[in-house]
Structures are given as C-alpha cells and as structure tokens.
Structure 1
Amino acid sequence: MIKRLLPLLVVLSGPAVASQAQVSVIHGSNEPEVFTVQLNGKSQDLDLRESHRYHAAFVDPATKREICRDGEYKTGLVLKLRSLPIEGDEQPVEVVGMVSSLESIKDGAAIKCGTNQEVALSNKSLSDTIRLAPNKTKPMVVDGKWTILIRMQR
C-alpha cells in the first residue's frame, strides 16, 4: 500500500514554492534587525523610523489663542515589500521605501508661551523590483547608510 502511495505523494508535493523572505536591515554600524515577510502577493510594511519631539508654538487663526505643545517627527527607514508572480525559480519582489533624515531644527517665532521650532527633514525614496533566487541573498544599499539583505526562504 505504501509503495503505491509514494509516487502519488511525490506528484502532489511538486516543486517547493517560496512562501517567505528573511529581511535583514543594518543601519550604520548597528547590529542587524531581522524580519520575516510573507511572499503572498500582499504588501508587507516595515517601519524602522524613530520618533523625536520638538516644541511647537503658534497662534490659532480661528480663536486667536496662543498654543504651545510638543510635536513629533520621525526619522529612519520605511519599506513596503510585495511579491509578484513567480518566474521559474526566481521570485520577483517589489521594494518601495523612503529614508527620512533630520537636516536641522531652528528656533522660529517666539510667543508668550514658548518658541516655535522649525524642523527640516530630507527624504530620499527608493523603488526597485528585485529577483530572489534560491540560496542567494540580494543586497540593497540605501542612502549610503542603510543596508538591506533579502533572502528567499522555502
């Protein structure tokens, strides 16, 4: 009975299909952060940004009241990965992202409750379609400071 089922099991199992990828992200000389993303055609988001605070001070145009509060900005890398239909042994993956960096924080207008800080950020976008092959790691360098290593896992 088992000898009869063995050929059937081999046919049903077929070739292995990639179901996920290991994504390692290295920033500067920091230790890599490792993520697993599903290769199922849906977008997978990786948000590696850090939140920072600044002081916002302004006059509300509707009420003419002075408002002072903390604001927030984010710097770092955000990625979106989406697998495309497999082509032979290669798995195409669309990679879209952006790196945000702080350029400067300057003191702006001063009012009774505080001084407004003006935050200037620089943003660099990336967009590429990579082809992952079995047992090979695909590297990407972004903005000269971020290294992304993507490896297909079967």
Structure 2
Amino acid sequence: MIKRLLPLLLVIAGSAEASQAQVSVIVGSNEPEVFIVPFDGQAHELDIRDSHRYHAAFVDPATKREICRDGEYKTGLVLKLRSLPIEGTEQPIEVLGMVSDLSAINDGAKLKCGTNQEVKLTNTALSDTVRLQPNKTKPMVIDGKWTVLLKMQH
C-alpha cells in the first residue's frame, strides 16, 4: 500500500514547490495585460502585437497578371521567457524580445488594380536575464514605452 502511495506523494510534494511568474505588460496608459508563465525550463512566447492592414499591388511573375490584395503587418512587443535553474531563493528568467514600430508607409508602384504600399518597420531587439525573488516585483522598461512587471508566484 505504501509503495503505491509514494509516487502520488512525490507528485503532490513536487507540485507544491512548482512556481510560476505573473507577467504584467503595460503600454502607455492602457490597462495591464496579465500572463502566467510556468517555471518549466521551456520558452513561452507572449505576443502583444496589433495587426494592421495595407494595400499590396504587384505583377505575378509566372502569369504576368496584376494582383491587388490586402497585406498585414504587426507592431508591438513579442517576448520569450524561459526559466533557468533556480539559484538559492532567486529564480533567473531569460527574457528575449523584440519591439516593432511603424516607420513609414509609402506609395510604390501604381497598377490598374491599385497602388502598392511599402511598409517600413523598425525592430528593436532585447535580451536580459532577470532574477526574481519571493514577494518582490521586478520591473522592466522596454523601448521607453513598454513596462513589464515580473513577479514570482507559488
């Protein structure tokens, strides 16, 4: 009987120690978006981008026909968070990310079906290791307008 319960007790004890991070992302004066990221050593992606439309017009090289349709680009923040092995009471988190902003939309080739719009984006990459401590919130300011608050939860 005890041999059957031992694996169950180990699972229960292991899950009591399992932790996660509460990640709050704030841009401008918007309400924070809150995510939960487990400390499992896997990379977890947070995609906080907005989709935008633009007009694409081009000539298909195979058929030589004009094609006009809507295209899509995204601006905002993408983060990848991955927990590293715990160090004492600190939980290191690897944070990788990219901020995409619209630089310009310029009119390009004009075809019978419409005008091609050329989208120019600026991308800013980031990489950091954050060390979370129990009962403390770790703030990060990204690109001057994104605030990320990380907090360890049990």
Task: Verify same fold: TM over 0.5.
Answer: yes
TM-score (norm 1): 0.88
Question: Alignment length, in residue pairs?
Answer: 143
For residue 61 of structure 1, report the CA deviation from its aligned partner. Answer: 1.3
Distance in 2 (alpha carbons) for counterparts of 1:125 and 1:135: 29
For residue 17 of structure 1, report the CA deviation from its aligned partner. Answer: 3.6
For residue 13 of structure 1, report the CA deviation from its aligned partner. Answer: 5.4
C-alpha contact (below 8 Å) 1:18/1:152 kept by paired residues: no
C-alpha contact (below 8 Å) 1:18/1:91 kept by paired residues: no
Distance in 1 (alpha carbons) for counterparts of 2:18 and 2:135: 11
- Regions of 4+ moved over 4 Å: none
Question: Residue 140 of structure 1 aligns to which amino acid in structure 2?
Answer: M
Distance in 1 (alpha carbons) for counterparts of 2:25 and 2:137: 13
For residue 62 of structure 1, report the CA deviation from its aligned partner. Answer: 1.6
Q: CA RMSD in A?
A: 1.7
Question: Residue 140 of structure 2 aligns to which amino acid in structure 1?
Answer: M
For residue 79 of structure 1, report the CA deviation from its aligned partner. Answer: 0.5
Distance in 2 (alpha carbons) for counterparts of 1:147 and 1:18: 26
TM-score (norm 2): 0.88
Long gaps (5+) in structure 2: 1-8
Q: Which residue of 1 aligns with 2:135?
A: 135
Call closer, same or farther: CA 1:18–1:144 in 2, change over 3 Å: farther
For residue 29 of structure 1, report the CA deviation from its aligned partner. Answer: 1.0
Q: Which residue of 1 aligns with 2:71?
A: 71
Q: Which residue of 1 aligns with 2:33?
A: 33
Distance in 1 (alpha carbons) for counterparts of 2:89 and 2:24: 22
